[in-house]
Amino acid sequence: MNYYGDSLNRLIDEFGRLPGIGQKSAQRLAFYIINQSEDKAVSLSEAILAAKKNIKYCSVCCNITDADPCAVCGSPKRDASTVMVVEDPRDMAAYERTNEFKGTYHVLHGAISPMNGIGPNDIKIKELLNRISEGNITEVILATNPNVEGEATAMYINKLIKPVAENVKITRIAHGVPVGGDIEYVDQVTLSRALSGRQEM
Amino acid sequence: MNYYGDSLNRLIDEFGRLPGIGQKSAQRLAFYIINQSEDKAVSLSEAILAAKKNIKYCSVCCNITDADPCAVCGSPKRDASTVMVVEDPRDMAAYERTNEFKGTYHVLHGAISPMNGIGPNDIKIKELLNRISEGNITEVILATNPNVEGEATAMYINKLIKPVAENVKITRIAHGVPVGGDIEYVDQVTLSRALSGRQEM
């Protein structure tokens, strides 16, 4: 039955379609909205439209951005000759938070995953090849996720770049035991990777 | 740092202000929005504005509604002489789902709670008294929550109505052990209420 009227039911439905928001949460959010001042509802509503409208891909690294080129590619402090290839803008943000990396990024927006119907042409690999063919890049760091899809994508890109860019160093981020982790609880594959990747002290 | 651009950061902030949505969830929701088609973003955005704009209180029962009177008060099948007083529209919806109650409701939109600065004038008690003074009501069922605020509110309303409406029966929903519950785990107050409220079989 229609307990609350169409407008509120529609809002509950809309919230319920968002990922991780169930029926109860959707109801709580909708009630929160209607109990707030109109300003706040307008503000949320506008933010949704603005994000959808203003967001575009950076023409250099394919990161999502308002301004083209994005803040990283546009910064004179960054070393454009080193490119870290990540799957997702959130992975880029995670690396930015380390404050360690001074190069630039390339965002693939996904990983090759035949199971999910995602092939090499569905992610931004062509754009990466174009960047490399311009000849200013000296190192490509493959920082795709350490899972099946990420590893396959890294291997695919490696094979693709190798023949066309002989002077480009291609590296993969290290696998190993996470800092602060407990060796007892680390899985076998990670442990054997940590062993084979051991470095002299 | 501004990793994603202003529009997306603003959307993440806006989502993060909603109840029960932390930083990580806000980020996930914002990325979901920008990866959806524009229709869906517009649809959510409009639903928020429409709910805020169209929602009003029913002039009879103070329930939130698009149309005045609300679906319950406007229905000829409902018995307007019996009024169930609830704290919240969601409480009303909970009773509606039982399909047992054929009377109408009165939604207080809160309970008296001096600790939170909510007095009798902050909830819809005046509107209830006005309804009763019109003289068509024969029973008022106090269905406020079974907690300190709800009990205090029920007692307050009872005292207020008694002198002005001698022919109106005032009742309170029964306290007792919940159906499907396990007596072993029911708290003492509920158990003693269940005992004192025992009924002949």
Q: What pLDDT was estimated at residue A126?
A: 93
Provide the 3-class DSSP secondary structure of residue B57: strand
Are A10 and B41 in contact (CB < 8 Å)? no
CA-CA distance, A7 to B65, in Å (whole number)? Answer: 8
Q: What pLDDT was estimated at residue B69?
A: 87
Q: Which of B27, B42, B64 sits opposite A4 (nearest CB)?
A: B64
Q: Which of A12, A115, A59 is nearest to A72 (CA)?
A: A59
- In this predicted structure, the answer to whether residue B3 has a pLDDT above a threshold of 80 is no
pLDDT in tens, A119-144: 999 999 999 999 999 888 999 999 99
Query: B27 and chain A: CB distance < 8 Å anywhere?
Result: yes
Q: Which of A99, A83, A192, A102 is nearest to A143 (CA)?
A: A83
Among A2-11, B149-158, B176-185, the range of highest mean pLDDT: B149-158
Provide the 3-class DSSP secondary structure of residue A68: coil
Q: What pLDDT was estimated at residue A175?
A: 85
Q: What pLDDT was estimated at residue B16?
A: 93
CA-CA distance, B14 to B33, in Å (whole number)? Answer: 13
ipTM of the complex: 0.74
> Measured over all CA atoms, what is the biggest interatomic distance in chain A, rounded to whole angstroms?
70
Question: With contact defined as beta carbons under 8 Å apart, do A72 and A104 qualify?
Answer: yes
Domains delineated in chain B: 78-175 (3.40.1360.10)
* DSSP, res B64: E
CA-based nearest residue in chain B for residue A57: B4
CA-based nearest residue in chain A for residue B36: A52
CA-CA distance, B118 to A31, in Å (whole number)? Answer: 19
User: What are the backbone dihedrals phi and psi of residue A164, each rounded to the nearest 5 degrees, phi first?
Assistant: -90, -15
Identify from A1, A6, A7 which residue to disrupt to test chain B contact, counting B C-beta atoms within 10 A and taking the largest count. A7
- In this predicted structure, the answer to whether residue A75 has a pLDDT above a threshold of 60 is yes
What is the percentage of chain A residues whose pLDDT exceeds 90?
A: 51
Q: What pLDDT was estimated at residue B2?
A: 67
Q: What pLDDT was estimated at residue A69?
A: 87
CA-CA distance, B166 to B65, in Å (whole number)? Answer: 32
The whole-number average pLDDT for the span B164-178 is 87
> For residue A151, what are the contacts with CB-CB under 8 A and spacing of at least 6?
A144
Helix axes A23-35, B89-98, angle to 10 degrees: 140
Rg for chain B (alpha carbons), in Å? Answer: 22
User: What are the backbone dihedrals phi and psi of residue A82, each rounded to the nearest 5 degrees, phi first?
Assistant: -110, 125
Tally of CB atoms within 10 A around A81: 12
User: What are the backbone dihedrals phi and psi of residue B70, each rounded to the nearest 5 degrees, phi first?
Assistant: -70, 175
Q: What pLDDT was estimated at residue B167?
A: 86
Torsion of CA A60, A66, A68, A72, to 10 degrees: -60
pLDDT in tens, B89-117: 988 888 888 888 899 999 999 999 999 99
The whole-number average pLDDT for the span A142-171 is 90
Q: Could you tell me which residues are beta bridge partners of residue B82?
A: B139
Sort out which chain B residues have CB atoms less than 8 A from A45's CB and list them: 45-46, 48-49
* DSSP, res A66: S
Strand B56-57 to strand A169-172: parallel, antiparallel, or no bridges (unpaired)? unpaired
Question: With contact defined as beta carbons under 8 Å apart, do B5 and A70 qualify?
Answer: yes
